[in-house]
């Protein structure tokens, strides 16, 4: 290939990346602790290392290998929870995560997190969530809409300032007991007027029993809280079938489904949160060419591109769109439609969806 040819390709890729950045995007699957900035993480490691809570060198090595297998992810999450589970740090990582998504032109962020107890820090599940809300209030690079009201004042009345809608999902960790999972569902209900819009089931897919969390998920359904489940990150037919039987509002990942479960997913038309980088980095899917995005997209199955853990996988939502474009040959109109349609699968109310739909209408002529 001539030097000129190489140059042209590079320019096109740079232009495509820029376009993906400018595209207004909707994020439906982002874990708070998975979205911690590297710089913040290293600062926290140093602080806790200096205080003798952990051995900095070991953690730094784990961070170097971060995200390279599902097992390593969950080892690291255990460390993140030691580093980040105090009120001030929860507030800080929430503020930073929202600012990072907004800087990436994300207009709607459904941020999920597992409410945690930390007796040593006087933390309850509720006070953990209060710290998350404090983090949202502390955002100052962008206006934040939480539960229909703006949390940040427009600087100097600047009406052109960026705005991001943030809604929260409370995650149940798969290793929780039924009572702890139910407590999380009740907390979500208690915080419905504070931007909480649903429940997620996540955590290490090799631990925990579906039957243990099912009563809490059924309780959520009775209370009218939408549910999304991490599904098929490991091969577990029985559990995958039980999840399809539950028929949640959305499913995350759906990587390792047997043929009949795959057909069932399609016939149930359950919207899927696709996390390309996450699935490749954790080696859940061996190569992006084999990713089930292609089949779901071709079948016009409802789906949305998501990051999962921006920090852990060193990605952004723009990068996920860029990856989809280069790996599956999507054009700009197709990517625009993908982003626009993700609005339909958000757990936010119709007013928010109308507002988001309007943003896409307004930006369409300029961006396409």
String of contacts with ligand 6MZ for each residue 208-247, x by CB under 6 A: ----------------------x--x--------------
Distances (CA, A) of 332 to 271, 282, 319, 339, 344: 22, 28, 14, 11, 20
Can you give the C-alpha Rg of the chain in angstroms? 20
Q: Is 184 in the site for ligand 6MZ (CB under 6 A)?
A: no
Tally helices (H) and strands (E) across the chain.
15, 10
Options 12-20, 28-36, 134-142, 328-336: segment touching ligand 6MZ (CB under 6 A)? 28-36
Residue placing its CB nearer to ligand 6MZ in the complex, 114 or 340: 114
Name the token pair of 188: 């979500």
Q: Is 271 in the site for ligand 6MZ (CB under 6 A)?
A: no
Residue placing its CB nearer to ligand 6MZ in the complex, 31 or 292: 31
Return all residues near 339 (Cβ < 8 A) that are at least 6 apart: 23, 24, 25, 26, 305, 321, 360
**In the complex, minimum distance from the CB of residue 308 to ligand 6MZ, in angstroms, rounded to a whole number:** 5
Q: Distance (Å, rounded) from C-alpha 353 to C-alpha 346?
A: 8
**In the complex, minimum distance from the CB of residue 257 to ligand 6MZ, in angstroms, rounded to a whole number:** 16
**In the complex, minimum distance from the CB of residue 33 to ligand 6MZ, in angstroms, rounded to a whole number:** 3
Helix (H) or strand (E) holding 17, with range, is helix 3-22
Q: Is 33 in the site for ligand 6MZ (CB under 6 A)?
A: yes
**In the complex, minimum distance from the CB of residue 113 to ligand 6MZ, in angstroms, rounded to a whole number:** 4
String of contacts with ligand 6MZ for each residue 324-363, x by CB under 6 A: ----------------------------------------
β-bridge partners, 145:
150, 165
**In the complex, minimum distance from the CB of residue 96 to ligand 6MZ, in angstroms, rounded to a whole number:** 13
String of contacts with ligand 6MZ for each residue 87-126, x by CB under 6 A: --------------------------xx------------
Q: Is 31 in the site for ligand 6MZ (CB under 6 A)?
A: yes
Residue (of 249, 107, 135, 273) closest to 194 by Cα position: 135
Options 31-39, 133-141, 182-190, 318-326: segment touching ligand 6MZ (CB under 6 A)? 31-39
Q: Distance (Å, rounded) from C-alpha 17 to C-alpha 21?
A: 6
Name the token pair of 308: 């999962």
Reply yes or no on whether 176 is catalytic: no
* Active-site residue, selected from the candidate residues 99, 233, 239, 320: 233
For helices 210-222 and 178-190, what crossing angle results, to 10°?
20
**In the complex, minimum distance from the CB of residue 279 to ligand 6MZ, in angstroms, rounded to a whole number:** 8
Q: Half-sphere exposure of 247 toward its Cβ, with a 13 Å CA cutoff?
A: 6
Q: Is 32 in the site for ligand 6MZ (CB under 6 A)?
A: yes
* HEC readout, 268-279: HCCCEEECHHHH
Q: Distance (Å, rounded) from C-alpha 59 to C-alpha 263?
A: 42
Q: Is 309 in the site for ligand 6MZ (CB under 6 A)?
A: yes
Q: Which residues are catalytic?
A: 233
Binding site for ligand 6MZ (CB under 6 A): 31-34, 73, 77, 113-114, 171, 173, 202-203, 230, 233, 278, 282, 308-309
């Amino acid at each position: 290939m001539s030097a000129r040819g190489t140059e042209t390709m590079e320019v096109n890729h740079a232009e495509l990346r820029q376009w993906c950045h400018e595209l207004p995007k909707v994020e439906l699957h982002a874990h708070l602790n998975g979205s911690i900035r590297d710089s913040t993480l290293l600062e926290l490691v140093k602080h806790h290392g200096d205080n003798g809570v952990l051995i900095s060198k070991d953690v730094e090595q784990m961070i170097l290998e971060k995200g390279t297998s599902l097992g390593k992810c969950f080892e690291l999450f255990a460390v993140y929870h030691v580093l980040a589970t105090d009120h001030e740090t929860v507030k800080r990582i929430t503020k930073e995560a929202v600012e990072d998504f907004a800087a990436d032109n994300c207009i709607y962020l459904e941020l999920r997190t597992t409410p945690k107890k930390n007796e040593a820090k006087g933390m309850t599940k509720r006070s953990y969530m209060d710290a998350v809300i404090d983090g949202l209030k502390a955002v100052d690079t962008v206006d934040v809409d939480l539960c229909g009201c703006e949390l940040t004042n427009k600087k100097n009345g600047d009406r052109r300032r960026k705005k991001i809608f943030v809604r929260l999902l409370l995650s149940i960790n798969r290793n929780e007991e039924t009572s702890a999972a139910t407590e999380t569902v009740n907390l979500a209900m208690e915080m419905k007027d504070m931007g909480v819009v649903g429940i997620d089931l996540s955590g290490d897919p090799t631990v925990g029993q579906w039957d243990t969390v099912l009563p809490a998920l059924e309780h959520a359904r009775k209370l009218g809280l939408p549910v999304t489940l991490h599904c098929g990150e490991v091969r577990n037919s029985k559990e995958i079938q039980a999840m399809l039987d539950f028929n949640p509002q959305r499913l995350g990942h759906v990587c390792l489904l047997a043929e009949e479960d795959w057909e069932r997913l399609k016939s149930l038309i359950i919207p899927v949160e696709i996390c390309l980088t996450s699935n490749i980095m954790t080696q859940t899917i061996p190569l992006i060419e084999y990713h089930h995005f292609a089949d779901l997209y071709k079948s016009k199955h409802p789906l949305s591109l998501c990051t999962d853990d921006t920090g852990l996988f060193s990605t952004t939502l723009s990068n996920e769109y860029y990856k989809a474009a280069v790996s599956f040959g999507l054009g700009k109109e197709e990517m625009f439609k993908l982003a626009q349609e993700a609005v339909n699968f958000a757990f936010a109310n119709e007013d928010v969806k109308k507002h988001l739909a309007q943003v896409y209408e307004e930006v369409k002529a300029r961006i396409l």
